[in-house]
Amino acid sequence: MLLRRKLCVALVIATILFLMLASQSIQRRHFLPLSLAPPNSHATPTGGGTVVKATAPPAVRTNKLTPPPIAIKPEVKEEGDKEDKEEEPIENSQYDQRPCSCPDSCVSDLDRSVWFSKRYDSKQQPILQEANNNFDQAALTWWLALQRSGNDQTLEKVMSELFRVISPPTGDFKPLPSKCRSCAVVGNSGNLRDSGNGDLIDSHGSVIRMNKAVTRGFEKDVGNRTTYHFLYPESAVDVAPGVSLVLLPFKLRDLEWLTSALSTGHIKTTYMRVKDRVQADKDKVLVVNPEFFKYVHDRWTEHHGRYPSTGMLAIIFALHTCDKVSVFGYGADQLGNWHHYWEQNRHAGAFRKTGVHSADFETQVIHQLAKEGKISLHL
């Protein structure tokens, strides 16, 4: 009985061993060893780089824990992208903002002309203020010596009396990115005759005229609009309502004259007989800063002549108060005569011979401004 039990146990053990050997044999037939298995990933080249795709390993049970495969997400690059993408400029950013909205260019943009940037000073204050003018003493001394007035008045006292009669300037002439201020500076040259520029002149936002300029009867050639009328006592005329009288003071006496001409009329002479009263809107009167004369003399006319002419001062004034400047009626006519378009001057050419202004050099500057694209010159 005991022998039979031992035989049964031995038979069971043998059966178990046989089944185990059979199982291992089956595994070897159907599965390769890991060292002989194919790689578990492959690379697929693309136009933008290499994309790695993961593949699952064979389902082999082992006694060790195998970490799950890691899928590498491909880097997607848009067509046309460079390896190191360059930073694209941001339009209309605060760093790329233009000083005005004119489509072509802005006068105060200094990047386009080295010649212009050496002369143009954006910090200049072309209009005389009631206070806080911060005069440069050297410039003021030079201006006071241009045409001596022969009195003991101080500039401060004369200005104080002047601004009791006229209103302090309120307009801001600085450029704005949202505006394009176009200005026509109209000289008095005889070359305006038969020019047909009237409509073009009037199409500008502001029109600057000077001295004894007339429009009646010449509208086809010179237009009929006026925004600013530049003058000094010896060239004074009445100014129409709504037009700004702009005084060019070549001496202290000119400031006194303006105060008188708009009030009592007691000043009747400077170095010659002058108009003792002028009609003008007192709240629109402007006075060019005396220091601005020295700036134009130093930077623009470069000491040619004793001081700049009215026409030259008007152009540089426009460069500081407008974004787009057109110039008409400067220089000699087609016959080489220097005269006004409304008259036949038998002393043609006298302007060039006085020595006070240098017409030839000023003409060179004006043509250079046109060449640099800062003004549109109509001859």
52 beta partners: 43
User: What is the largest distance, in Å, between two alpha-carbon atoms of the chain?
Assistant: 162
Kindly report the number of other CB atoms within 10 A of residue 234's CB atom: 15
Nearest to residue 351, comparing CAs of 364, 339, 363?
A: 339
303 in active site:
no
Which residue type occupies 248? L
Burial of 110 (0-12, 13-18, 19+ CB in 10 A): middle
Here the tokens at position 358 are 């240098």
Q: Give the list of residues 6+ apart from residue 107 with CB closer than 8 angstroms, or none.
A: 100, 175, 319, 322, 323, 324, 325, 374
- Of the candidates 204, 297, 339, 357, the residue annotated as catalytic is 357
Judge whether 324 and 181 are in contact, CB under 8 Å.
Answer: yes
303: left (phi over 0), alpha (psi -120 to 50) or beta: left
Q: Please tell me which residue in 120, 232, 307, 341 is annotated as part of the active site.
A: 307
Cα 316 from Cα 288, distance rounded (Å): 11
Q: Are 378 and 327 in contact (CB under 8 A)?
A: yes
Which of 250, 246, 274, 271 lies closest to 260, judged by CA?
Answer: 274
Catalytic site includes residue 204: no
Find the helix or strand (DSSP H, E) in which 141 lies.
helix 137-144
Q: Which residues are catalytic?
A: 307, 357
